[in-house]
Chains A and B, each alone.
Chain A
Amino acid sequence: MPRSHAVALPVAYVALRILIVLNWLGGAAILALLTATIVAEEWTMTALGITPASPIRPMLMGLRAIAALGLIGVPLNHAVLARLVAIVQTVGRGDPFIAANAYRLNAIAWALLALQLLSMVIGGIGEALSTPDNPLDLDAGFSINGWLAVLLTFILARVFAEGALMREDLEGTV
């Protein structure tokens, strides 16, 4: 195995572990902010420097909806990252072409699909809230790359399933 590949595996493992923690921390931050805007609206608005005359005020309900949808994304992100960690571990053990990885990739593909749909809904809300005077620039909406990743992952899951079957056959061959 080339040295760069040998290094890539532990780097990927550590990076994924960090991303899992960051994902939950981000989710906790969104949840805290969302709760604060509901439980102590005025206090939060003052703390954020949003005056009663601010154009953000009428957008508040929409922004809350976006935050709530963002929270749905947290467990979906976790589903993707946790399964990627498990796949990386099987590569480390030298045994990645197993049926379990095919199921994991399939689950990742469905989670990515859900994330893409979520992103489109969030993008739609953003568009609805946005006005020429107060544009709301969200990094969400339809993404050709995102949908390509969904398609690619579904195909990869199928490739892994076939590969696992072929390997199983080969194992019993003398």
Chain B
Amino acid sequence: MAIAVKLDDLLHDRRMTLTELAERVGITIVNLSILKTGKARAIRFSTLEAICAALSCQPGDILEYLPDAAQEAEAA
């Protein structure tokens, strides 16, 4: 997947644990872990909105498009 999730960096910057974020956002740690490890296939706008509100950031701070990863995925 060419979309990288930078939740780890954001949590580190905000000195926040995944458990705390899960409580604030209102979704399970399991689902947040799926998102954090890049295993999610899609993200709801409502989830994105809640994470942005909890971490005081923009969607672009959480997600990043990596063209090289896309090319590697196509080659594989």
A interface list, Cβ under 8 A from B: 169, 171-174
Contacts and interface: CB of A to CB of B under 8 A. Distances in A.
A61 B32 CA distance: 72
Contacts of A169: 41-42
Contacts of A174: 27, 31-32, 34-35, 40, 42-44, 47
Nearest to B36: A174
Interface of B: 27, 31-32, 34-35, 39-44, 47
A172 B41 CA distance: 5
Given A172-B39, A174-B31, 17 more contacts: A169-B41, A169-B42, A172-B34, A172-B40, A172-B42, A173-B40, A173-B42, A173-B43, A173-B44, A174-B32, A174-B34, A174-B35, A174-B40, A174-B42, A174-B43, A174-B44, A174-B47
Contacts of A172: 34, 39-42
Contacts of B35: 174
Q: Which of A169, A171, A172, A174 has the most CB of B within 10 A?
A: A174
A172 B47 CA distance: 13
Nearest to B43: A174
Nearest to B33: A174
Nearest to A168: B41
A174 B51 CA distance: 11
A166 to B, nearest CB: 12
Contacts of B47: 174
B9 to A, nearest CB: 18
A110 to B, nearest CB: 32
Contacts of A173: 40-44
A78 to B, nearest CB: 39
Q: Which of A169, A172, A173 has the most CB of B within 10 A?
A: A173
